[in-house]
């Protein structure tokens, strides 16, 4: 066995010995070198603050930290207890609910029986659900539409940008709008008419088939949002501005209000609308329900679109 | 058969609900929330209330998630996620 020679240039031993003698740096060129940041001398300590610290430390510091630790343990324990107890309460409540579809449940009383038996006769709507929410319970639905309108107002108050900040916001928004995405544009060109037609169909057929003002309006609003995303604000502003939103939602809500707010004075007593009920199953049947459905649909569609525009741009 | 289907859907529902709250990435969390709404709308159809199913699909899966996405864009959360993915690659 011959001793390994150490003077081969480039061998490990050679590198090791050169490194020992300080001629070779194995990390040269491998690492990103960074100049150390210039260290600024810390500002001289304020003697008054120092005194305050000392004064605090002189007090019961140990007790204080122990209190904090105790509080943290208590906090975790209490939050666990709260979570578990709330879940137990909810589960017990669900377990005590009447069985699903139980005929003896308190919800299945003479009211729903009357709705099911006489609904078609009294409201003229084939879809009993619509007959219920827009005829028997129309006043409740009026409240729901108003809630939606209030939500739109709140979004307007919170997110609206006034004219001074408008230019900057629009400039910032031009980065995203319009997207110039070919797939999105072509898909929207094909889908948009069908989505709008489907929404209009659901609204107009609310008293005949499943659906109604709210769901149809939401679909129309979603279609408008798709159109906006595909083609940009300049195209939507040709048919939908702040004025359109104002007039449509105000007009629809006013019509609803005029038609149904008599319940403030008459209570549950029903006033005849004067519009003939027509033959059940025809499109122009069920009296006032048809028009109320259109109103709710318009309000919901406008509100959904306004929500999106407010979130997106902070103004129409 | 339909009972198995309903239990499968309910399982997915619970899974989505837990995953939506546990997921760290906001974008993924919103997509899970969308699928939750979609499963819920199928369950409404099985419970024979198509009115609610249409509304759930349009509002829950459509408009609400759109508003969430817009909010994420406004607070620049989506761009940061994309940038993080690029730096990871």
Each residue's pLDDT, cut to its tens digit, for chain A (316 residues) gives: 455 555 667 777 788 878 888 777 777 766 666 666 667 776 666 655 555 555 555 555 677 888 899 999 999 999 999 999 999 999 999 988 888 777 777 777 777 778 888 777 777 778 888 888 888 788 888 888 888 888 888 888 888 777 666 666 666 655 555 567 788 888 999 999 999 999 999 998 888 888 888 889 999 999 998 898 888 877 778 888 888 888 988 898 888 888 877 777 777 667 666 677 777 777 777 778 888 888 889 988 998 888 888 888 776 6
pTM of the predicted model over 0.90: no
Determine the pLDDT at residue A198. Answer: 92
The secondary structure element, H or E, covering residue B3 is helix B2-22
Sequence spans of domains, chain A: 126-313
Residues B58, A308: C-beta atoms closer than 8 Å: no
Of A58-62, B38-42, B83-87, minimum mean pLDDT range: A58-62
Q: How far is CA A145 from CA A20, A66, A220, in A?
A: 84, 55, 16
Is A297 within 8 Å of A217 (Cβ atoms)? yes
B45: chain A residues, CB-CB within 8 Å: none
B54: chain A residues, CB-CB within 8 Å: 202, 210-211, 215, 219
Kindly state the tokens that stand for A30. Answer: 């491998």
Residues A311, B67: C-beta atoms closer than 8 Å: yes
How many angstroms separate the CA of residue A103 from the nearest CA in chain B? Answer: 16
How many angstroms separate the CA of residue B62 from the nearest CA in chain A? Answer: 7
Sequence spans of domains, chain B: 2-88
């Amino acid at each position: 066995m011959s001793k390994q020679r150490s003077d081969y240039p480039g061998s490990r031993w050679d590198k090791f010995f050169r490194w020992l003698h300080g001629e070779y740096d194995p990390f040269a060129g491998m690492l990103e070198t960074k100049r150390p940041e210039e260290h600024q001398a810390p500002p001289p300590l304020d003697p008054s603050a120092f005194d305050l610290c000392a004064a605090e430390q002189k007090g019961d510091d140990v007790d204080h930290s122990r209190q904090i630790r105790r509080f943290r343990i208590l906090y975790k324990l209490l939050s666990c207890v709260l979570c578990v107890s709330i879940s137990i309460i909810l589960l017990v409540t669900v377990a005590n609910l009447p069985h699903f579809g139980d005929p003896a449940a308190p919800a299945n009383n003479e009211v729903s029986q009357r709705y099911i038996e006489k609904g078609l006769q009294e409201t003229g709507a084939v879809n009993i659900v619509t007959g219920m929410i827009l005829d028997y319970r129309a006043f409740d639905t009026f409240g729901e539409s108003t809630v939606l309108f209030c939500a739109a107002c709140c979004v307007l108050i919170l997110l609206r940008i006034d004219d001074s900040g408008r230019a900057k916001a629009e400039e910032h928004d031009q980065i995203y709008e319009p997207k110039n995405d070919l797939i999105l544009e072509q898909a929207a060109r094909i889908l948009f008419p069908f989505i709008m037609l489907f929404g209009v169909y659901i609204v107009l057929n609310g008293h005949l088939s499943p659906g109604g003002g709210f769901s149809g309006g939401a679909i129309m609003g979603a279609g408008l949002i798709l159109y906006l995303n595909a083609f940009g604000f300049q195209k939507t502003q040709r048919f939908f501005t702040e004025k359109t939103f104002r007039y449509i939602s105000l007009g629809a809500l006013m019509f609803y209000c005029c038609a149904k707010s008599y319940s403030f004075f008459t209570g549950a007593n029903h006033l005849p609308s004067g519009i003939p009920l027509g033959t059940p199953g025809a499109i122009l049947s069920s009296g006032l329900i048809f028009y109320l459905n259109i109103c709710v649909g318009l309000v919901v569609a406008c509100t959904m679109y306004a929500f999106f525009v407010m979130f997106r741009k902070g103004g129409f | 058969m339909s009972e198995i289907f309903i239990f499968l859907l309910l399982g997915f529902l619970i899974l989505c609900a837990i995953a939506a709250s546990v997921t760290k990435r906001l974008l993924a969390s919103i997509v899970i929330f969308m699928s939750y709404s979609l499963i819920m709308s199928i369950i409404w159809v099985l419970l024979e209330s198509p009115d609610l199913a249409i509304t759930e699909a349009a509002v829950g899966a459509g408009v609400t998630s759109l508003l969430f996405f817009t909010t994420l864009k406004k607070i620049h959360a989506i761009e940061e996620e994309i940038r993080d993915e690029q730096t990871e690659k």
